[in-house]
Structure formats: C-alpha cells, structure tokens
Amino acid sequence: MSDNSAAVPPAAVPPTDAREPLRLMCVHAHPDDESSKGAATMAKYVDEGVEVLVVSCTGGERGDVLNPALKDRPEIEANIREIRRTEMAQAQRILGVKHHWLGFVDSGLPEGDPLPPLPEGCFGLVPLAESTRALVELVRQFRPHVMTTYDENGGYPHPDHIMCHNVSVAAFEAAGDIEAFPDAGDPWQPLKLYYDVTFTRERIEALHNAMVERNIESPYEEWIANWEERAKDRRVPTVTTKVHCADQFDRRDAALLAHATQVDPEGWFFKIPLDVQREVFPWEQFELARSLVDTDLPEDDLFAGVREKAERS
C-alpha cells in the first residue's frame, strides 16, 4: 500500500476548550466520483465546520477520457494517472475537504461478450480482508462519526464501485471491533453509514418538468421514457435523508469540472440551470444503511442523532 501521496490525516485530538468537531468520511471508488455524488453536501458541512475526508479507493488509472476536447491526445493517455491526481487535488481545494488515496489500482470497466476478466492486481480482485484492513486503519485514524458510500449495486455495476461498497460496509462493521485488525490502530466505531442516492425518479421528473414548463430542452426526456428498462433488476433505493445544499451547487459543479478528463463541460450534467435546480430540487439524497443512534425518518441531516450524542460526550 505504498501508493499514497497524501498523508494520512492524524488521529483527531479532542480540543481542551471546545467540543470535538464532527467528522464525515466519504468513500469513493475513483477520483471524480466524489464530485458527482454528494459533493454539495460535503461542501455544506465544510462550511459548517465539519471535518470532511474523501477517500479514493483507486487512482482512476484505467478511466477513459470522456471529455471530447481531450480525447485521442497521446500525451494525456500516457500520463492519465498523474493528470487524475492533479484533477483530484483541484476538486479537493474547491470543496474544502481533506483527501486520502487508499492506494489500490483501478479495475477498468470490462466490456464485451463474453465479458473479459478483470486485470491482475486491480481493486476488484484484491482480497476483501486486505482492502478492509486499509480502510479500517484510516477510519481509526480519522475517527468519522458518519460514513457515506455506495449501495450493493455500486450506484451502477462497475466492479470498483461494488468493491467500494463491500469494503466500506466491512470497515464500518470492523473499525470498532477490538478483535478485528488489532494492528490497525485503536478501535473507533462510526455511528451512521449512508448510501449516496443520486438519480431518483422523483429528482429526474421534478427537474424535467421544470425545464418543460420553462420551454427549455430537457436532457431527461429519454431517461423518463426508458425508466423502467433502466431500473430493471436494480433495487429502488429508499431515500431516508435529504440534505438542503442548494447554496453549494456551484461548488459541486466546479469540482466536477476540475476533473476535466472525465466530464464533458457541454454534457447533460450541466444542462439544468442552477437557479432551476435550487428552486425545484435543492437537496442531495441519501439512504441510511446503518445507525447506532436514534433518529427519526425522514431526516434532513446526516448527523441527526449524532450531534446529540456528541454534545453529551
């Protein structure tokens, strides 16, 4: 696990003259995932004084160049690893978060029929105990109160996203267990685990209808027409939590655009005007997957139930 240019954040020390700050850890598969899933929520909590750490499980080394303006340029393809690290550093600065490379290698997205095997040594093939230990060690150092990751489908069935889910859930369960990975630091138990929920039917239809009402072309026409086919064989997420973060939508978009190789600035993601988004759907959505504190659903805060416990501790 030597691929770790960012220093591991030191274990937080409770201040002597103030309550210990709340901490949020967001675990993602690749650089750029953090900017397309829950980025405005992270920025909101940073603005409130919460310590936020983004974990990138891989370096995105096998990601395709998705920006048409940068495709088929040998100098980019030859240096994609370094370029993606630079992009991540810029997104990190925009969002105001801390960042850690977990150090595993991108699996790529195998395509074809029959489906080719994953490349040797990639994240998708790393034994779960090995990858879990790496994340447990980081959890015990950073000591998050809340963690976020993907559901069991990975948000979409990329092998790294599915492994990210498996590792995050396993680390959430193991980090507070004194008998699990005893050489990985002092136990620390996060109190809540959430799954990112990005594109729900409620959100897509709300934005689509707002565009139609304003006589603006909607990028979601085909999505809605083919929704049943798109959603086939996938569990419909249960949205338990909506975080109001409209004021941070501009930073979310700027962070995503910082990943210049991975996003088309003229693409569908940026077709909905920010003022429409802020008016019609000013939230980001999450599914509460694990909770060790009492909370009432639905929630409007990832730290619901946690704040009260922290104040008493």
Residues of the binding site for Zn(2+): 30, 33, 161
Bridge partners of 149?
A: 195
User: What one-character-per-residue DSSP string does 94-106 give?
Assistant: HHT-EEEEEEEPP
- Known binding residues are 30, 33, 161
| Alpha-carbon span 199 to 284, nearest angstrom | 10
Q: Is 261 within 8 Å of 83 (Cβ atoms)? A: yes
The Cα 214–Cα 49 span in angstroms is 37
Burial status of residue 213 (CB atoms within 10 A of its CB: 0-12, 13-18, 19 or more): exposed
CB 262 within 8 A of CB 87: yes
